[in-house]
Structure formats: C-alpha cells, structure tokens
Amino acid sequence: MNKKSKTGSLLRYLKPYWFWAVLSPLTMIGEVLADLLQPKFMESLVNDGVLKGDQQFLLHTGLQMLLIVLLGGLSGASCSIFASLASQNFACDLRKDVFKSAMNLSFQQTDRFTTGSLITRMTNDITQMQNFVEQCIRMFVRSGMMFVGGIVMMLSLNHRFGLILLCSLPIQLIAMTLVLKKANPLYGMVQQRLDTVNNVMQENVNGARMVKAYVQEERETRRFTDANTALTDANLKVAFIIARLSPILSIVMNFSVVGILYLGGLQTLAGAMEVGTIMAAIDYNTRILHSVMMVSMMFQSIARGQASGKRLNEVLSTHPAVEDGTYAPEKLGEITFDRVSFHYPGFARPVLKNLSLTIRPGESLAVLGATGSGKSSLIHLIPRFYDVCEGELRIGGSSVREFDLTTLRNKIAVVLQKSELFSGSVAENIRWGKPDATDAEVRRAAEIAQAAEFIEKMPDGYDTVIAEKGASLSGGQKQRLSIARAVIRKPELLILDDSTSALDLATEGKLRQAIRREMAGTTLITVAQRIASVLDCDRIAVLEDGALAAIGSHDELMKTSPVYQEIYQSQTKEGEASHG
C-alpha cells in the first residue's frame, strides 16, 4: 500500500500536463470505435455484399469502412502524440527534480547511493516511469474499451458466443495473474543489477588510465562480465516467466476460434446464421483476448514503474544530512573547535578525538600530521561537508549548524586534496570560483597561484581547452589551477588541503609569498606533509591519530614538542639522505 502510494505520488509531475494526459485517451476512443466497427462492416460486406452478389453495396460499404479506418488511424496518431507530450514532459520535470535532489545530497549520502546507482536512477528508472505513464494513458482506455466493447459487439452478433468467452476468459485471466505475480517482484532486482553494471562501468571509464597502468584489463573485464551476466540472468528470468504467458494465450485463442466455428457452423447449418457473422465473431474474439494481453503488458509496466518509482522516491525523499540554518553574518570571525570528536557515519573508528583548537581571523595556520591522522577530516568540518559528532564547532561565536550554508560556503574557499577540474577552457575553470569575474581578475588569480606562466605558454593561453578532469595537465598544473579557482573568490578563509604537494619548493615558496602579499587579512589554513612548506605559518598544529599533539610557532614547537622535533628530524634527515 505504502509502496503504491509512493509511486503514485510521482504522478504529481503529470499535473501540469493533465491536458495532454486527458486528451490522449479521449482521442483513443475514436481509434477503438473504428476498430470495433470493422468486424461489423465485414459481416455486412460478406453477408449482404459477397453472398448476395451486390456490387453496389460492396463499393458503398467498402468506402464507408475505409473512411472509418482512416479516421481511426488519425485519432490513433493524435493519441500517441498527446501521450508522448504528457509522458516526455513528465519525465523531463521528474529528471530535473531527481537531479536537484542528487546534487543536494551530502558527501556521505552520495557514497551510500553510489554514483552508478544515481546515474541509473536518473536515466533508466526515469525511462521506466515514462513508459509506465505513457502505457497507462494509452493502454488503459484502449484495452478497457476494447474488452467491454468487444464483448458487447460479439454478444450482439449472437448471444451463444458468450459461452465461448465464458470458457476462454477465466483461463486467460488466471494464467495472466499467476505469471505476473511471479514476474513483478523481480523488476526491483533487475534495476539493482543494472546499478552494479553502471557502477563497474563508471569506475572503469573514470579509472581507465589506472586500469591500463596496472594491466588490470582482464580482471576488470571479468568484473564487468560478472555484473553484466548477473543483469542478463535477471532479465532472462523475467523473460522466461513472461514467455509462459504467450503459448497459453494463443492456445486459448485457437481453441476459442474452433469453438466459434463449431457453434457458428451448427447455427449456419440450421439456417440461423451466415458466414459473415462467424468471421466477425472470430475477429471480435481475437480483439477481446488481445485486449487482455494488453492489460498484462500494462501490468508489467506498472510493476516496472513501481520498482523504479520507489528508487526515485528514495532519492527525492532523502533530506540533505546537513540541514541549512539561517544565520548569515557579514564576517565569519574566529573558528573554534570545542572538544570536537568525529567519526564517519557508519564507521565506528573515531577520526578526531576531543580536539580543541581556535583559529584567529587573519592568521595562517598549518595543520601537520602523518597520513590518516585526520587532517582532511578536520578541515571538512568547517564548511560543513560533515557535522561534528561530539563537542561543538563555532564560527564567530555561533555554532556552525546555525549558519546559512550558502553564506558560509561562499566565504570559504577550499582547495580539496584531490583537484577536480571540469572540461572547458582554463579561464572557465578559474572563473568557476567566481562566475562574474573579469578577465583581469582571472589573470590576477592565476598570477597569485603561480599558474600564469604555464597558462601563457599554452597554445591558446587562457582559452586553451583542457580535457575532462584536467587530464591534459600535469599534477602541479592542476593543483595551481585549483588554487587560482579558490583565490579568485577572495574568500575570508582559504583552506589548502595538501594542495601544493606536487610543486617544487621554490614555486611553492613563491605561491605562499604571493598569497600572503595579495590576500592579507584572509585566514589561511594549510594542510601539509612537509614541514618546509609551512615554516612561515603563524602557528603549526600537529595532529596525531586524530588528537591535537602540539600547537605553536615553529620555534616554540622546536623547543617544547618532542613529536614536532621528531617529524622535523625525520624530514631533514630524509632530505640529507636524498641529497647525499
């Protein structure tokens, strides 16, 4: 019940197009009437024309029949057009909303759905819903009218034919119910397996270089083949079940034709019926049984639509885990981690433990620590990519949960550890940070990020188109473009998460100087592995296994913190070792 009403709720997207959705079945009436009249015409053509040799009647009635067929065809075509208008627009609006919901999911919600599944939902599942709507609009009226109208017309030929229907229809209906009952629950599984295929495909298309580098084509192909075979198996399972229906239906159909011939033959011999009537009865019989088959097809697309509708509703009804607040201050102010603990949803292991830290406006803070110590997790909390589990994160004295997310995120620019670029020109990628930036601003940002030099050397300068995900750039070039994209926003808080790891120390130094010079007043948080990268920071926070091990300037830490001394020594030793 719940499932049904949920899928039904998606029909609200049909509301703006109700006009087409109503007009379509109305025009369908014309087509069905034409179809229902045809056997009747045939009856009189045979009985009164052919058998009596009346040429005039044949011509006259033949032309009438042709006209009706034409009109029927015309209304059938209009019906299809209107149904398409309704169902395509319905799907378009639905797709827009599902896309919007998918974009609003938090990091962790996207991870849970998986990218492949989200893509399947936005494509295949919406197509299933669209088919469902179109089938219902067109077939519901058609099969219903044909079924009832066919029976009425057949009985009007001779009520004894009712006996035939009384035998054939129940068998057909029972067969249909049994088969559909078995097949319908499988559609959810089909969609799930389609998710897996899409997931594997998406991972491999994205990671094509990696697959080649590790010569894993065979393994990945096997993984894909497994998913693909599983999907095919599920589809075949459904097809095998559905296939049982058609021989049953055709046997019933043929037996009933024999029945009509037998009954009609007896009547004809008794002089109570003519050949044309038998022909018309066979025709009606076929159409009635055919309409039952149509109903079975309709039920199939309802079942598919229901499975897909449920999956779409899951996306639509997922509320963003991070709920928006309303507080929108002019300036952010001090950032305070107050005894913050954090673990990723669904993972028990704590990533940050009882961490207290205050970041003053305008200061430059470095976050140092071994890989996996929780540096990225720490900075992800500030723009609320995730929420803290215990303790509180305050910005300017207010809990970060109270902030209007757009305001908050607009004041912060994060350069994520993994630089993500989009296909498009260099300038477009930088402007992504601030869509209304002037050319001069773009150039300025590139200069600060130490990217101007290599951009100007590119064939078309700032208009050079870079490949999808920045594949045509070096690691360091990608990092600098990502930094330019952040710098152009003129944020109050700039976070660089290991964003200069691919730069040589000289370039990195120039970059840091430029940021310091050009962005005075901006709070800067630099996550780094190398101490050399952060020597100039006001303070350095050392993370160890999710806890704050030490904080202070380089000189202070060298005096007071054994952990820091250890890192320093290991890095300088490493340096010496690699030089010597």
Ligand X SMILES: Nc1ncnc2c1ncn2[C@@H]1O[C@H](COP(=O)(O)OP(=O)(O)OP(=O)(O)O)[C@@H](O)[C@H]1O
Between 326 and 347, CB nearer to ligand X: 347
Closest distance to Mg ion from the beta carbon of 381 (Å)? 13
| β-pairing verdict for 539-544 and 412-415 | unpaired
| Residue 114 zone, left/alpha/beta (φ > 0; ψ -120 to 50; rest) | left
Asked if 128 interacts with Mg ion (CB under 5 A), we say no
On the CB side of 109, CA atoms within 13 Å amount to 17
**295 binding partner (options Mg ion, ligand X, none; Cβ < 5 to 8 Å by kind):** none
Tokens 């053509």 belong to which residue? 45
User: What tokens does 562 get?
Assistant: 């054994």
Closest distance to ligand X from the beta carbon of 373 (Å)? 4
Alpha carbons 435 and 558: distance in angstroms, whole number: 44
Alpha carbons 427 and 420: distance in angstroms, whole number: 15
**39 binding partner (options Mg ion, ligand X, none; Cβ < 5 to 8 Å by kind):** none
Closest distance to ligand X from the beta carbon of 557 (Å)? 18
**377 binding partner (options Mg ion, ligand X, none; Cβ < 5 to 8 Å by kind):** ligand X
Closest distance to ligand X from the beta carbon of 377 (Å)? 3
**344 binding partner (options ligand X, Mg ion, none; Cβ < 5 to 8 Å by kind):** ligand X
Alpha carbons 432 and 420: distance in angstroms, whole number: 11
Alpha carbons 18 and 13: distance in angstroms, whole number: 10
**310 binding partner (options ligand X, Mg ion, none; Cβ < 5 to 8 Å by kind):** none
Measure CA 328 to chain center: 32
Between 175 and 483, CB nearer to Mg ion: 483
Please state at what angle helix 275-316 crosses helix 2-9, rounded to 10 degrees: 90
Closest distance to ligand X from the beta carbon of 368 (Å)? 10
**Sign of the dihedral defined by the CA atoms of residues 219, 223, 228, 229, in that order:** positive
Asked if 376 interacts with Mg ion (CB under 5 A), we say yes
Q: Interface residues for ligand X in 58-87 (CB under 6 A)?
A: none
Closest distance to ligand X from the beta carbon of 349 (Å)? 7
Alpha carbons 265 and 269: distance in angstroms, whole number: 6
The one among 55, 347, 457, 578 contacting ligand X by CB under 6 A: 347
DSSP 123: I
Give the list of residues 6+ apart from residue 295 with CB closer than 8 angstroms, or none: 139, 143, 147, 176
Between 133 and 355, CB nearer to ligand X: 355
551-557-563-568 Cα dihedral, nearest 10 degrees: 120
**125 binding partner (options ligand X, Mg ion, none; Cβ < 5 to 8 Å by kind):** none
| Residue 397 zone, left/alpha/beta (φ > 0; ψ -120 to 50; rest) | left
**76 binding partner (options ligand X, Mg ion, none; Cβ < 5 to 8 Å by kind):** none
Q: Could you tell me which of 249, 246, 243, 242 has the C-alpha nearest to residue 182?
A: 242
Amino acid found at 246: S
DSSP 49: I
**372 binding partner (options ligand X, Mg ion, none; Cβ < 5 to 8 Å by kind):** ligand X
Asked if 371 interacts with ligand X (CB under 6 A), we say yes
The one among 115, 286, 417, 464 contacting ligand X by CB under 6 A: 417
Asked if 500 interacts with Mg ion (CB under 5 A), we say no
Stretch near Mg ion under the rule CB under 5 A, chosen from 80-88, 171-179, 409-417, 464-472? 409-417
Asked if 183 interacts with ligand X (CB under 6 A), we say no
The one among 259, 369, 383, 476 contacting ligand X by CB under 6 A: 369
Between 65 and 527, CB nearer to ligand X: 527
Asked if 415 interacts with ligand X (CB under 6 A), we say no
Tokens 């071994």 belong to which residue? 370
Polymer length of the chain:
580
Cβ neighbours around 52 below 10 Å, total? 10
Asked if 149 interacts with ligand X (CB under 6 A), we say no
Stretch near ligand X under the rule CB under 6 A, chosen from 269-277, 368-376, 399-407, 501-509? 368-376
Q: Could you tell me which of 161, 148, 407, 109 has the C-alpha nearest to residue 279?
A: 161
Between 354 and 417, CB nearer to Mg ion: 417
The one among 89, 158, 377, 482 contacting ligand X by CB under 6 A: 377
Between 106 and 499, CB nearer to Mg ion: 499
| β-pairing verdict for 364-369 and 539-544 | parallel
488 SS3 class: coil
On the CB side of 233, CA atoms within 13 Å amount to 10
Looking at 2-54, list the stretches that DSSP marks H as alpha helix, in order from N- to C-terminal side.
Answer: 2-9, 18-44
Site string for Mg ion, 411-430 (x = CB under 5 A): ------x-------------
Question: Contacts with ligand X: how many residues (CB under 6 A)?
Answer: 13
Asked if 351 interacts with ligand X (CB under 6 A), we say yes
The full 3-state SS of 325-363, as one line of letters, equals CCECCCCCCCEEEEEEEECCCCCCCCCEEEEEEEECCCC
Alpha carbons 11 and 26: distance in angstroms, whole number: 19
Q: Interface residues for ligand X in 482-501 (CB under 6 A)?
A: 498
Stretch near Mg ion under the rule CB under 5 A, chosen from 31-39, 41-49, 238-246, 372-380? 372-380
The one among 264, 374, 433, 470 contacting ligand X by CB under 6 A: 374
Asked if 344 interacts with ligand X (CB under 6 A), we say yes
Closest distance to ligand X from the beta carbon of 110 (Å)? 10
Asked if 373 interacts with ligand X (CB under 6 A), we say yes
Q: Could you tell me which of 531, 419, 537 has the C-alpha nearest to residue 486?
A: 419
The one among 191, 376, 482, 533 contacting ligand X by CB under 6 A: 376
Site string for ligand X, 438-467 (x = CB under 6 A): ------------------------------
Amino acid found at 319: H
Between 5 and 371, CB nearer to ligand X: 371
Asked if 353 interacts with ligand X (CB under 6 A), we say no
Binding site for ligand X (CB under 6 A): 344, 347, 351, 369, 371-377, 417, 498
Binding site for Mg ion (CB under 5 A): 376, 417
